């Protein structure tokens, strides 16, 4: 069994489809994302933390800390570096 698994037999990779620009625009148009209400702002933060930093679940969002982010400037401009904690995404 171990040999078959190592060869990829009986294994499947689960991967979510990325959200299209059209879907993202639809969410913004319906005020599900944006800054019009506290709920839409919360949704927006959750969405962009997931999209940009690869956070996967509520726990990863809930345990964010400012020391996980570094702000910097280089010849191309300003940037943010995210240092994730040990999780399924960051091992």
Between 62 and 9, whose confidence is greater? 62
Q: How far apart are CA 25 and CA 79, in angstroms?
A: 24
Residues 6+ apart with CB under 8 A from 53: 82, 84
* Residue 78 covered by a domain: yes
24 domain residue, yes or no:
yes
Q: What angle do CA 49, 56, 20 make, to 5 degrees?
A: 65
What would the mean pLDDT of 57-77 be, rounded to a whole number?
88
**Averaged pLDDT, 25-45:** 94
In a domain, 12, yes or no: no
Residue 53 lies in a domain: yes
Residue 90 located in a structural domain: no
- Round to whole Å and give the CA distance between 21 and 63: 28
What range does the domain containing 53 cover? 20-82
According to the model, what pLDDT value does residue 71 have? 94
Q: What is the mean pLDDT of the chain?
A: 84
Q: Indicate whether 57 pLDDT > 70.
A: yes
Q: Tell me whether residue 56 is in a domain.
A: yes
In a domain, 11, yes or no: no
Rounded to whole angstroms, how far apart are CA atoms 39 and 86? 29
Our count of domains for the chain comes to 1
Q: Which residue has the tokens 């171990």?
A: 2
Q: What is the mean pLDDT of residues 13-31?
A: 87
Split at pLDDT 50, 70, 90, the class of 61 is confident
């Amino acid at each position: 069994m171990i040999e078959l698994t190592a060869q990829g037999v009986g294994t499947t990779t689960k991967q979510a489809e990325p959200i299209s620009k059209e879907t993202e625009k639809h969410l913004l148009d319906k005020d599900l994302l944006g800054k019009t209400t506290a709920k839409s702002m919360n949704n927006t933060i959750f969405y962009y933390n997931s999209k940009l930093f690869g956070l996967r679940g509520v726990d990863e969002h809930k345990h964010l800390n400012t020391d996980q982010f570094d702000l910097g400037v280089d010849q191309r401009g300003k940037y943010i570096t995210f240092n994730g904690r040990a999780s399924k995404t960051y091992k």
